Structure 1
Amino acid sequence: LVEMDGFETNTTIIVIAATNRPDVLDPALLRPGRFDRRVTLDMPDLNGRHQILKIHANGKPLAEDVNLEALAKQTIGFSGADLSNLMNEGAILAARASKKVIEMVDLEESIDRVIAGPERKSRKVSQHEKEITAYHEAGHALVARMLPNADPVHKITIVARGMAGGYTRQLPTEDRYIATKSQFTAKIAIFMGGRLAEELIFNEMSTGASQDFKEATNLAKKMVTSYGMSEKLGPRTFGSKEEMVFLGKEIHEQRDYSEKTADLIDQEVEAIIQAAYQNAKTILTDNRDRLRYLAEQLVAVETLEGEHLEKLFTEPVPPPAPKELTLEIKTKKTKKVAQAEGPVKAKPKTKTKDKLAEPGTAAPPQAT
């Protein structure tokens, strides 16, 4: 500070500093004559991401199918470091596959790696768990597709990455800097869609929705306590958070409201979640056949995206396999087992059982 605004002025020196926590800076640093000009750098927009990708793609052998603009549209919310990591991951994947150029599929795989981590190829999943995961993700995707305020579904997968058994990725159509109440309620309904699909199909609950519930509860609580989106409590905030200034960690939340208000907050959070839950339940119940269709396709190919996914959302749902076919298969299996065991010898009929047969009818067959 002495060098910056001491007794002597050095007109040819400019001091520049950067921080990602401007809220914890000492006010003495920001007085006129010190760091008095502030330039805010937000996450890059579409054009910014495109230009950053061009810089990091420079000098790398790219295939003709690589579309950096399309990649920029798929990387909303990525920082410059994320985009650099994306290009490096794509180069590593291409090198591992002994490719001479980086293809679009390598870069799209690297997006998944940046978002959810590398694919867990060593993880062995039973067929039943695979079906549960497929219906879970199909539930998320179908609710998202049917809600007008939800972002479009870009990809559904049941390939395990990180700690997740699968995930559904949505992409907004444009960069967004504010969010609305209807968008929040749609997002909560989408969180609920996974568990609801499991209940609807298997009549059972699993632990797979724990993170969904955590995200939904936190979002509903923010709607009430931070964004003033509660009809009962009105446009105000509740609770002030204290942080460890130099570590940036939240250590305490001071309650500046009464127990009665706390009960109202809980009621409003519960009401928001239950309304979203019922909305998602109605959607999945009314579209049960399409839910089944999506899940069956997921089990078969594990990942759905692009035109294939769009067709599954829009084309008529084929009917399920007829029950007669299943019965016929079982009958054939039974016959084969009987042939392997040899002919079954019938027990001799007794006179008592012959007398029980009505006149003009054959005696009932004997059980073996």
Structure 2
Amino acid sequence: MPDSDNKKSRKPLKNLPQDRFQPRVLFIWLLVGLALTSLLMWSPGRLGAPITLKIQQVVELAESDAIKQGVIKPDLSGGPDWALVTGELREPVPVRPDSEQMTRSFRSAGRLTDSNMERLQRSQRFVEQPATTMWTQIMANVIPFVLIIGLLYFLFVRQLKNAGRGALGFGKSRAKQLTRDRDKVTFADVEGCNEAKEEIGEIVEFLKDPKKFSAMGGRVPKGVLMIGPPGTGKTLLAKAVAGEAEVPFFSISGSDFVEMFVGVGASRVRDMFEQGRKNAPCLIFIDEIDAVGRQRGAGLGGGNDEREQTLNSMLVEMDGFSTEDGVIIIAATNRPDVLDSALLRPGRFDRQVTVGLPDIVGREAILRVHAKKITLEESVDLALVARGTPGFSGADLANLLNEAALLAARRDKKKVEMVDIEDAREKVLFGRENRRLMDESERRLIAWHEAGHAIIQGLLDDGTVPVHKVTIIPRGQSLGSTTYLPTKDILTRPMKKLLDQIAMAMGGRIGEELVTGDLSNGASGDIKQATKIARAMVCDYGMSNLGPVALGDNQDTVFLGRDITRSQHISEDTARRVDEEVSRILREQYERAKELIHSHRAEIDKIAEALLQYETIEGKHVLEILKYGELRSPVVVAPPPPPKKVEEEPAPKEKEKEPKKEPALISPEAIGGAPEPTPA
């Protein structure tokens, strides 16, 4: 790249063009001035010039009852006895003898004697007022101007300024420039996506030293598309690029381009890119680009004409950029499958950066970044928190620590402890504790249901996904839950682990049947989860007697484009065999879980009895019962929430009522538990 272009790319921010004076503002103020002038010229006080009379003529007209009303003011410019008399006649008279213009007002200035003053007062048509000073006249003339101008400013000028740049700027871009001093973000504030940071860091190097890349004959990508689930930090990463490169950063959402008026979106696209050229080198970040970049011609009856015009304008503007412009487009989406193929071709979005969910190391780094804003107890182990939050995004982890801080504040603590983070994690995953009144039979049913899950997981686990906690306290929609804490991130799922997971899901139903001899609807969620896993094994993973064949229906829905009709991939006979294989897997794992539970009947009874006594036990207690047949570690019982105070009428002293036995506070809702969490 030439040196002149290199200097251009290093243009300081202080030389960027500021808001320029626009001619339409001057035009608006001219209209306001003309309106005020016309208002004052045609006010009721100036409808025709008053006739000039002598004081004696005014006195005679007053005595003949020809004056409707009048005002007498001292005239300081004439002398002590001089006065200014103005008023209105009952009948109109000519302004001048030779004029056709008529008027009712009159004016008279001169020496007003005491006798004439008494005669005017006897007519009861005149009112005396004090003399008008120069300051009073100025205020009387200026205040109306100020009030009218202020009213017009707030009614018109401010509305034009705030309502999307007014009607004259309806097609202007709504991209907002990020303020560096206030909203500066660097790579140190972004954790959990090291690979994405390294890949996108080339953009920062190019913006700082473009000659380094041009000397080798290479060029920086014109557009970078960041793909990933919601909350993984795509927007934060784009802000970090702008903060590291110290260049102007414009942010806009894809929905800001789409309007109900045809052509507005395309106009805003052109204005946005023109704004980027003027501030080059700069970054333009388009969030949720799938709102405007969806595939053309998709849906019933074709696509949306306005959205497709906006997309066409964006394609043309991106293809028109050259390397010397120093303008880089960064877009983010969590739906790359619906984007138009022309938008993803080289020359537009040259590079796709995947920002996925963080691993255990990334989660710990993210927690350490957010923990700087929270007062944590020294005993808090963020590595343990990271291990217990598989599948959490960066936004989820930030929310977890925030909930823990709020929970610690409600408990009147000075610092956030590990128990607060643990309770906040369960609240985020399963909902808040919801203790309700429940009879003993339902408590027993839920206890044996959760004990069935826990004992199967404890027997089949090889140490990678141990039982973390078992509780019969309801949270959210579940009446109880058995949670697991993976020791590492699970990236692949072997067939043995999937079968163990199905058997564990069946353990709750078998536990209910074991203690009651009947079935309930509490295992409905477990059955759905097990059926989903078994069908995926047969149709998607090839883990059945049908062989390695993909039998799932991968056809896109009509609103995502392409074909409207769905095609049948498998025959009726194959579909019947698929159903048979799914049923076979479920039956085999049900019998397997049933055999395990019956062979460890004493252990499952002890786990259920511990749940009935303590309501919540930890995973180590389950392992102790399986290994030693009893609990050897103390169980920490969380104190129940304080009951609400209810004001009751005082009982009479003569009759003392016996204290009533309050039922135990336990879990609510239907029997059993909702689907247990699966390791992520």
Report the TM range for the smaller structure's normalisation: 0.7 to 0.9
The aligned counterpart of 2:589 is 276
TM-score (norm 2): 0.45
Q: Separation in 2 of the partners of 1:43 and 1:215?
A: 23
Question: How far is 1:173 from its partner?
Answer: 2.0
- The AA in structure 1 aligned to 2:465 is D
Q: Mapping of 1:216-231 within 5 angstroms?
A: 216-231=530-545
Residues 210-289 of structure 1: pairs in structure 2 closer than 5 A: 210-231=524-545, 233-244=546-557, 254-289=567-602
RMSD of aligned C-alpha atoms? 2.0
Aligned: 1:115 with 2:429: yes
Matched, 1:73 2:358: no
Tell me: CA distance 1:293–1:252, structure 2 relative to 1, closer, same or farther (3 Å): farther
Contact 1:24 1:245 survives alignment (8 Å): no
Matched, 1:137 2:453: no
Alpha-carbon displacement from aligned partner over 1:279-338 (angstroms, at most 9, x marks no partner): 1001000001000000000111111115434323322249xxxxxxxxxxxxxxxxxxxx
Match of 2:492 among 171, 178, 183: 178
Provide the secondary structure at the position in 1 that maps to 2:483.
strand
Equivalent-residue separation in structure 2 for 1:146 and 1:261 (angstroms) = 36
Contact 2:458 2:623 in 1 (8 A): no
Measured at CA, do residues 58 and 273 of structure 1 come closer, stay the same or move farther in structure 2, by a change above 3 Å? same
**Is 1:51 aligned to residue 365 of structure 2?**
yes
Instruction: State how 1:16-95 maps to structure 2 within 5 Å.
Output: 16-95=330-409
Higher strand share: 2
Deviation, structure 1 residue 15: 1.0
The separation in 2 between residues aligned to 1:56 and 1:302, in whole angstroms, is: 33
Judged with a 3 Å threshold, the aligned counterparts in structure 2 of structure 1 residues 7 and 24 are, in CA distance, closer, same or farther, namely: closer
User: Quick one: which amino acid aligns to residue 141 of structure 1?
Assistant: A
- Equivalent pair of 2:470/2:618 in contact (CA under 8 Å): yes
Runs of 5+ unmatched residues, structure 2: 1-314, 632-680
2:319 match: 5
- Kept in 1: contact 2:505–2:530 (CA 8 A): yes
Question: 1:327-342 maps to which residues of 2 (within 5 A)?
Answer: none
Instruction: Name the SS of the counterpart of 1:179 in structure 2.
Output: coil
Bigger radius of gyration: 2
Cα 1:247/1:117, change in 2 over 3 Å? farther
Long gaps (5+) in structure 1: 319-368
Post-superposition Cα deviations, 1:57-81, rounded to whole Å, max 9, x if no partner, equal 1121111221111101111111111
Return the offset for 1:171: 2.1
Alpha-carbon offset, residue 24 of structure 1: 1.9
8 Å contact 1:238–1:257 — kept in the other structure? yes
State yes or no: 1:124 paired with 2:429: no
Please tell me whether the aligned partners of residues 62 and 103 of structure 1 are also in contact (alpha carbons under 8 angstroms): yes
Matched letter for residue 377 of structure 2: A
* Residues paired across the two proteins, number: 314
Against the structure 1 CA distance between its residues 96 and 237, is the aligned structure 2 distance closer, same or farther, given a 3 Å change threshold?
A: same
CA distance in 1, matches of 2:567, 2:412: 57
Task: Report the TM-score, using the length of structure 1 for normalisation.
Answer: 0.81
- Pairwise CA distance, 1:247: 6.9
The structure showing larger relative contact order (alpha-carbon pairs under 8 Å, at least 6 residues apart) is: 1
Partners of 1:135 and 1:291 within 8 A in 2: yes
The structural deviation recorded for 1:246 is: 6.2
Superposed CA deviations along residues 107-130 of structure 1, whole A, max 9, x for unmatched, are 000110111011113x22222111
The match for 1:338 is none
The alpha-carbon deviation at position 174 of structure 1 amounts to 1.2
Alignment partners' CA distance in 1, 2:322 and 2:618: 64
1:308 aligns with 2:621: yes
Q: Which residue identity lines up with residue 310 of structure 1 in the other structure?
A: L
